[in-house]
Amino acid sequence: MQHLQARANTLVEALPYLQRYAGQTIVLKYGGNAMVEEGLKRAFATDIALLKQVGINPVVVHGGGPQIAGYLNKIGKKAEFVQGMRVTDHETMDVVEMVLAGLINKEIVANINRAGGRAVGLSGRDGGMISARKMEFAKGAPELDEPEIIDLGRVGVVHRVNPEVLQALEQRAFIPVIAPVGYHKDEFYSYNINADLVASAVAGALGAAKLILLTDVVGVLDGAGELCSRLSPAAARGMISDGTIGGGMIPKVNCCLEAVASGVARAHIVDGRVAHSLLLEILTDEGVGTVFEAE
C-alpha cells in the first residue's frame, strides 16, 4: 500500500504543473546520450507523447553531431574543426542535411509515433521556417594584430524564425520535430545551425513557457561543484565572467539567457542521461537541472 500511495502522491504533485502548462508550448532541444542509448530514446519519446496527451504542446529540436561524423567517416570525408566548430563545405553540407533532416529526424518521429504521439518531421527550410545568415567567426591569436576571419563554409546562425508552420501543426494536435537546417533568404541554399541556437530562437518566436536543453551533464555547477538549481541572468553572467561557467557550457547558458530575454518564461539545462528527466523537470516540485528565470 505504501508503494501505491507513493504513486498517487506523485500524480497529485504533478496536478498544479499540468494545470499551469495546459495549452502552453515547451521547446525541447534533444541531444547527447538521450539520442543514442535505446532505453533513453524510448523514454524521451514516451515523455513527449505524454506531454501532448495532457494538453501541453511540445516542440522538439534535435542535434546529431556524432551521427554526422559517423556518416562522413563512411564516405571517407575527413572532418575539419576550428575551435570545436565543424567546417562545412558543400559536400559536407549534403551529408549533414541528409543525416539531420532524413535519418535522425525520421527516427525521432517514428519513436514518438510508436509511443502514441502524432509527430511530424521538418527542417528549417520547410515553409520558410528558419532563415539563416552565414556565421562570422574571428580567430584571435597573440601574434596577430587583428583577429583572423575564418570561413567555416555553410555554417549559419538564425536570422529569423517564421512560426506559422509550427503554430498550424500545434493547432491540429501534431508534434513538430525540427532538424536544425536553415536557408539563406537570398541565396536559397541550406546552412547547418547549432541545435541549441535553433531551439532558443524557436522558443522565443513561439512565446514558449519553457526552453529545455537536454545535455550530458547534471546542469550548471558552482565553484564547489554543487548543482545550481536556479540562476538569475545576472548570476549566470557573473559565473561566466569569473570562470565558474566555462567551456561548452557557456554557449548553452547563453542560449538560455537569450531565450529568457526574448520572453520565454523559464529556460532549463537538464541531464538527458536520466530517464524521464523531462517529466521530472516539468511536473515535479524539485526538478532535476538548472533553471534560468528573468529577474
Rounded CA separation 191/182 (Å): 5
In a domain, residue 213? The reply is yes
Top-confidence residue, 21 or 11? 21
Residue 189: alpha-carbon gap to chain centroid: 23
In a domain, residue 16? The reply is no
Average pLDDT, the chain: 89
CATH code assigned at 269: 3.40.1160.10
Quote the pLDDT of residue 184.
87
Give the mean model confidence (pLDDT) for residues 236-255.
Answer: 93
132 confidence band (pLDDT: 50, 70, 90): very high
Supply the DSSP string of 60-129, one letter for each residue. Answer: EEE--HHHHHHHHHHTT----EETTEE-B-HHHHHHHHIIIIIIIHHHHHHHHHHTT--EEEEETTGGG-
In a domain, residue 11? The reply is no
Quote the pLDDT of residue 141.
46
In a domain, residue 118? The reply is yes
8-22, 58-72, 138-152: the lowest-pLDDT one? 138-152
Quote the pLDDT of residue 121.
97
pLDDT over threshold 60, residue 140: no
Q: Which domain holds residue 248?
A: 23-293
Top-confidence residue, 90 or 144? 90
pLDDT over threshold 50, residue 144: no
* Contact predicate 179/143, CB 8 Å: no
Q: 256-285 pLDDT, tens per residue?
A: 999 999 999 999 999 999 999 999 899 887
Bridge-based pairing of strands 155-161 and 190-193 is parallel
4 confidence band (pLDDT: 50, 70, 90): low
What grid cell was written down for 128?
520558410
Quote the pLDDT of residue 147.
53
Give the mean model confidence (pLDDT) for residues 26-36.
Answer: 92
In a domain, residue 66? The reply is yes
